[in-house]
Every structure is written in structure tokens, then in C-alpha cells.
Amino acid sequence: MKNRITSLFGIKYPIISGGMVWCSGWQLAAAVSNAGGLGLIGAGSMTADILREHIQKCKAATDKPFGVNVPLMYHHSEAMMEVIIAEKVPVVFTSAGSPKTWTRKLQENGSKVAHVVASTKFAIKCEEAGVDAIVAEGFEAGGHNGREETTTMVLIPQVRKAISTPLIAAGGIATGEGMLAAIALGAEGIQMGTRFALSQESSASEEFKNLCINLQEGDTILSLKKVSPTRLIKNEFYKEVEEAENKGASADDIRTILGHGRSKKGIFEGDLVNGELEIGQISSIIKDIPTVKAIMEQIVEEYNARLKWIQGD
Ligand SMILES: Cc1cc2nc3c(=O)[nH]c(=O)nc-3n(C[C@H](O)[C@H](O)[C@H](O)COP(=O)(O)O)c2cc1C
């Protein structure tokens, strides 16, 4: 598989593991990069010092390109960027903010920059900001999502038409068949979160992983819409939010219920009742917790088999 995404990042397969709070430390990122994809360290749940440690450990664990994801909504994103610039991280994926803020500075420092969006309008802004690649993410995805609730199937062909920058599809992709579908729609690579969150190398708790591989269709929902739309498992915490919203709770009321450290509690510490449990809709087809190497091999095999099937071989 050779295309603009593989040559941009210097990788074998156009498969990227998205930054994921409490899941994607250096172990996951290095494993994905070593298996021929592009592994991202998720800085969202780290302090600048912890991020530095993860970057250095990732450098020691792989000689392949890797990256860091920085959600720009956090107050300490500037401190993160200082670490990234000092460490000369080869690839940076920014999300949840403006692509204009950091793109040029990072590129001048030698990094390739991609930005994550949930709409065609923002994809055009990314192109104007001069990013090297755009991730268009449908709201099937785990984690924070677009308010407009556009699906990957609807989003990718429209973004493809609107921009000429290399395009990566995210949201609802966990198999080789899904990857082929995304490429058929006009993407040149895929970013997966949920599939890699449920791998051996993910730092999520065993409790969280085990719950996720037993989910059925309909067990996740876009919640916290008044604060920051996030796809969650329908646990007790979600029900509390929903009840409050039904009674007319304001954004501030919801912020009070949310408090601090809910996603750490749920994903990392395994509190399945009170934690904020972020995972994608596609979790309902995932029934195992393999190594990253096994996931990558299976995706490539499925991709090739389905391609042959389509061609009638
Ligand atoms: C547990 C979890 C945490 C996430 N945290 C982040 C994050 O910190 N920054 C970000 O840009 N995206 C985050 N995401 C989104 C992923 O990077 C990825 O784009 C998304 O999961 C793709 O959709 P999928 O879950 O259907 O594969 C998160 C996703 C999950 C499942």
C-alpha cells in the first residue's frame, strides 16, 4: 500500500492509531509504528513532563516514525508544544482547536502536521492553515465528537470533494473491510481509536477493556452535548447526566456533575459505574483484546481479501 499518506509519514500501511486519553502511551504508539502504521501518543491525559518521558521512551522503543496528538482545548497545550518542539517529534496531530495556532511553527521545526475535524467547513480551514493532512472524523467515533453528528460515510466524500490535502478517515473503522470502504469514499488512510484502545498495549484498565468487548449495538451514545459532545457507554454516570439534562440542567450544572478526572476514573482506574467511559460505536463488533501486531496483520489480510472479493477473483 503506497499513497500520499504512507509517503508523507514514511510508513508502510496508511493506518494510524489516534491519540486517546488514558489509552495511548508510548507502549501503544511504539507497537503501532513497529507494526508498520503510525502510532500516536495521546498527550491529552498527560502533563508536559509525563509527555516528555513518553516521547523519550517511544524513541527508545522504535526507530520508525511516530507522533503525538495534542487536543488544543487544554490550558497546558502550550507547555506540551514546547516539549514536542524540543524533542523534534516527527509528526503532530492537533485536535479540538484551531489548526492555525500551531501548524506553521511545528512545520518550521520539521514536524508533519495533521488536524482532526468533524465537518467539511473545518476541513477547508485546515487546508487554508496549510496542514500536511486532514483527519475527518464521523460521530461514530469514540471520544469527543462534532455537534452536527455527521457520520463517516457522509463526511468523507464531501470533505474529499472540498479539499486536495491528503485525507485520513476516522470513526467507525476497526476492520480491513472498513478501511477499504473509507478508501473507496476518498480517504487515503485511516485513524482508528476504539480498535487500538482494546489491544494488549493500550493502557486502559482490564475492567474497561473487558466491558467494551461485551458491548452490543446501541450501548454507546453521544452525550454531554451541552459541554463537549462525547460518545460514552450508557453506564450510571451517563444516566445521571441524561436525567439532569432532561430536567433542564445548564452547561454549568453538567460541568459540576462531570467534575474532574472522570475519564481517568473510568478508562484508567476501571470504575465502570462512576467513570466517563469513552469508546466508539464500532466496539460492538470487537470481541477480543489482541496485540497490536495481530490487529495490524488482520486488518491488512481482511483488506486484501475484501478487495479480491470485490474484484470477483
Ligand atoms: C478512549 C478514547 C479516548 C480518545 N481521546 C482522544 C484524544 O485525547 N484526542 C483526540 O484527538 N481524539 C481522541 N479520541 C478519538 C480517537 O483519536 C480516534 O479519532 C477515534 O477513536 C476514531 O474513531 P473509532 O473510535 O471509531 O476508531 C479518543 C477515542 C477514544 C476511544
Structural domain for 264, as ranges: 206-282
Cα 216–Cα 273–Cα 138 angle in degrees, nearest 5: 45
Q: Are residues 176 and 37 in the same domain?
A: yes
| pLDDT tens-digit readout, 27-62 | 999 999 999 999 999 999 999 999 999 999 999 999
Split into its structural domains, the chain has a count of 2
The reply to whether 47 falls in a domain is: yes
Provide the CB-side half-sphere exposure for 284 (13 A, CA). Answer: 12
Q: Is 21 in the pocket of ligand 1 (CB under 6 A)?
A: yes
Nearest CA to ligand 1 atom 20: 193
Cα gap 290→202, rounded to integer Å: 10
- 244 and 290 share a domain? no
Same domain assignment for residues 57 and 173: yes
Which residue has a Cα nearest atom 7 of ligand 1?
20
- Is 3 a member of any domain? no
Our answer on whether the CB atom of 42 is closer than 6 Å to any ligand 1 atom is yes
Strand partners, 68: 41, 92
Q: Grade residue 123 by pLDDT with cuts at 50, 70 and 90.
A: very high
Each residue's pLDDT tens digit, 193-233: 999 999 999 999 999 999 999 999 999 999 999 999 999 99
pLDDT-derived band at 1, boundaries 50, 70, 90: confident
pLDDT above 90 for 160: yes
**pLDDT value for 161:** 98
CA-based R_g, the chain, Å = 18
299 and 262 share a domain? no
Residue of the CA atom closest to atom 11 of ligand 1: 95
Q: Does residue 198 have its Cβ closer than 6 Å to ligand 1?
A: no
Q: Quick one: pLDDT at residue 95?
A: 96
Q: Is the pLDDT of residue 313 over 90?
A: no
Q: What percent of the chain has pLDDT over 70?
A: 100
Cβ neighbours of residue 63 closer than 8 Å, sequence gap 6 or more: none
Assign 75 a pLDDT band (cuts: 50, 70, 90).
confident
Do both 238 and 195 map to the same domain?
no
Residue whose CA lies nearest to ligand 1 atom number 1: 278
197 close to ligand 1 (CB < 6 Angstrom): yes
For range 284-305, the mean pLDDT: 98
**Same domain, yes or no: 120 and 180:** yes
177 is a domain residue: yes
Determine which residue's CA is closest to atom 6 belonging to ligand 1.
20
- Interval 121-149 mean pLDDT: 97
Q: Which atom of ligand 1 is nearest to the CA of 267?
A: 1
| Whether residue 215 sits in one domain with residue 163 | no
90 and 191 part of one domain: yes
Query: What values do phi and psi take at 303, rounded to 5?
Result: -60, -50
Residue nearest to atom 5 of ligand 1 (CA): 20
Same domain, 262 and 298: no
- Ligand 1 centre from 301 Cα, in Å? 24
Q: Whose CA is nearest to atom 19 of ligand 1?
A: 18
What's the 3-state SS for 82-116?
HHHHHHCCCEEEEECCCCCCCHHHHHHCCCEEEEE
Question: If you search the block for the grid coordinates 485536535, which residue do you land on?
Answer: 95
Flag whether 199 is in a domain: yes
pLDDT number for residue 110: 98
User: Model confidence at 162, in pLDDT bands (50, 70, 90)?
Assistant: very high
Do 174 and 218 fall into the same domain? no
276 CB less than 6 Å from ligand 1?
A: no
Q: Is residue 89 part of a domain?
A: yes
CA separation, residue 197 to residues 39, 184, 208, 261 (Å): 12, 25, 10, 18
Residue 88 domain-assigned (yes or no): yes
Residue of 194, 267, 277 to mutate, ligand 1, most atoms within 8 A of C-beta? 194
Q: How far apart are CA 79 and CA 56, in angstroms?
A: 16
Ligand 1 pocket test, pick from 15, 16, 20, 213 with the greatest ligand atom count within 8 Å of Cβ, gives 20
190, 223: one domain: no
Give 60 Cα–ligand 1 centroid separation in angstroms. 25
Mutate-to-test residue for ligand 1 from 15, 16, 17, 21, highest number of ligand atoms within 8 A of CB: 21
Same domain, 66 and 54: yes
* Residue at 265 is within a domain: yes
Closest ligand 1 atom to the C-alpha of 281? 26
